[in-house]
Structures are given as C-alpha cells and as structure tokens.
Structure 1
C-alpha cells in the first residue's frame, strides 16, 4: 500500500485551445464571408435595377400627363443612353430612331405611330388622345422589355 502512496500524480496535458483556429475552419469562415458579401452585392444590384425601372415608369407617368411628344422622346433617349452604347444611340433621329426602338421590342410599336412621333417632334403638334395613349403604351412596353431583358 505504501507503494501506491509514493506515486506521483498524473499530469494531464492542457485542454486544446480554440485559438488559433485550424486551417480548415479559416477556409469555412472565408467562404461564408465571401458568399455573404456576394449575396449582398447581388441583392443591391437587383434593387438598383428595380429602382431604375420604377423611376423610369414614374417619369413616364409624369410625362404622360403633359401630352408632350418631345418630352417623351427625351425620356426614351435618356433611358436608352443609360443602357446602350452612346455611339449607337446618340446619332439616331427620326425614322432611324423609331426603327431602332422597334428593333429592341418583340413586336413593332413605334413605326406604326411614325406620323404621330415625327409630327410631335418636328412640327410641335399635339397628338390626339388616342394616339397619345398609344405612344405612352409603346413607351411603357419598351421600358418594361428593356428592364426584363436585364433581369
């Protein structure tokens, strides 16, 4: 019995530390942080596109209340310049502009109203109520198509 009392006590190793973290844990943390940042950037990008779409439609409704073809033309050109290269959009006018707008739509909506558009732009004539509503609907369809393609 005396032999058991003379033994030294067991020395346990220290508990493993949580710091520094093993390399595989750092990889998991880095992947989680990067994926979270990418997700936030994607949501912000989608929100900005949605914001621009809503803003374009709001501006269209404001222009629509005034029945001014030149203002509607400027709005469409401003939107086109933000989405397409300047060298493509800037030099176009008249029929070429209307054909290009129709080319970006699934079905032509601007060329059938060519006389209304050109008279409003170059002769400062106000369109009839029916023609104006068709111009607004064509513009709204173009804006919606533009933003749907980019979604």
Structure 2
C-alpha cells in the first residue's frame, strides 16, 4: 500500500529540493533557487514523501501579517497526479491559517491546478508586497509571464 505524507524539510533534504527546483527551472517552469537560499529559508519548506522517499516540495513565504505565498511547489514527474501537490498546498494553507494570514497567493504557469483548489486569477498589480518585495530582483521582472492567483483563507476558530 502507498504511504503519502508531508513533513517539514530538513538539512538533508536541501540537495533534493535544489535539484528538483533547478530541473524545473531549466525547463522554464519555475525560477531557480540557490542552495544557500533554500538552506536559509529551510523552516519555510515542506517535502512530500511516498513510502518514505522524498518526491516533492513547497514553501510558504510570508510577506505581511495577512499575506503569504505558495512558492517552489514541485513534484517529481513520475509522482505527479497522485495528490502530492494538492497535499502540499493544503498544508501550506493550514500553516497560513495558523499564522493568521487572510490570503495566500501563487504565481504559476499552471492556473488550472490552483483553480481546482479554490484560487482565482488576480491582477499582478493587486500584489504590491510581492511585486516590490521579490519580483523587482527577478530576471523576468519586465516580462513576467506567470499568472497571479489568490485564495482567501477562513479565519481559524479559537478553541472553546
């Protein structure tokens, strides 16, 4: 039987995360992230596993007390279509709710995936925290072809 799970990334996961992200970056599907940046932001990363093998990753970037982003979402091609990406996004959203975030955004080339998870397309201009905080340093800043999407999170209920 298949065992699917998600856990916090550890230092031993950094080479896998770096290799997976750079593989997709070479195909133009993601932006590359240097190993040093992954290591520095390791507390924001999750990994997906199938039968204890690491097969995917994602991270939660927090911009303000209300806004976060799903970043670096990737699953090895042989393991796609099995719910790993959806599980990673669900855990990112739960983390966002626990931090009190009101919205989660994603910049993507795969809007259909995020639409199925309740995200809606929004104008890039509606995300100044992202554009002026991160995008300005991107090599694609002047011709960004990613689609901005957003999901409003439900506030978490305080325990009774």
Structure with a larger share of its residues in helix: 1
Higher strand share: 2
Fold shared, TM-score > 0.5 on shorter chain: no
Q: Which has the higher contact order (CA 8 A, sep 6+)?
A: 1
Q: TM-score, normalised by structure 1?
A: 0.28
Larger radius of gyration: 1
